[in-house]
Every structure is written in C-alpha cells, then in structure tokens.
Structure 1
Amino acid sequence: MKTAIPCPNCGTEIPIETDTLLKGSRFCCGHCGASVGLCAGSRPVVSKALNAFDTLKRQTRQYRTEH
C-alpha cells in the first residue's frame, strides 16, 4: 500500500510503500534528507496493524455493498 508519513525533522510528507517498509527499507525526506524506517522489533507489530486495517476496509466495503 502506498501512503505518506510526515518527516520527524521537518514535517514534509515522505511517500512510502508499506510492503517495502516492512521488508526493512528506509525512506528519505526529499526536503531535509532525514531517513525513516522500522526497527526489526517493530515490523511484526506494524504488519499486524496493517493486516487488521485491511480487514476493516474489506468489511466496510462489504457492509456498504449489502446496505
């Protein structure tokens, strides 16, 4: 999933690909050059949260279709 996060240094939006982020890639701010990524211990937690979010989106779409 493509998304963006604010740079922790300057607040500029940093575009990220969540699958790539979960594989350990780092992303750089185009404005100030700060690098962001996930530490290895955070990856399972973020992965679980993203999966739960995807499930919720599917359930919402299904509900809207049925009602």
Structure 2
Amino acid sequence: MLGAWLRAGFAADVEFNAAAGLPGDARHIALFHYAIDGLLLDRLTTPLMPDESLDDIVDALVDGLLPEV
C-alpha cells in the first residue's frame, strides 16, 4: 500500500513538473524525493546541522540537482 502511494505521488510530481515546463526529468524528480525524504528524517529526529536554515538547505539541494537554465 505504501509503495503504491509513493509511486502515485512521484508520478504526479513528474507530470506536474513537465506540465509546468520546469527543468528536470523523472530522474531529477526522483533525486528530489530521495533528498527530501532524507531531509525529513533529519528534521524529525535530530538535525545534523541544527543551526542551518531549512530554506538554505532546500536551496542548496535545488542548485545541486538542477543544471543552470
């Protein structure tokens, strides 16, 4: 049940990204999912860098995953 829910959300994210004309393909979206899932675990348990802004972390993830347009 969890797998179906995760795959449906992933497919919806890929479709949204393409429809919005945003950069990145399914692989990039999967990398975002992997990165964000790890970030959520970090924030729900004990942060590796508690003084680092969540916005700064997400900006760094985006910059690292998507090429300059």
Q: TM-score range, shorter-chain basis?
A: 0.3 to 0.5
* TM-score normalized by the length of structure 1: 0.38
Structure with greater contact order relative to length (CA < 8 Å, sep ≥ 6): 2
Structure with greater proportional helix content:
2
* TM-score normalized by the length of structure 2: 0.37
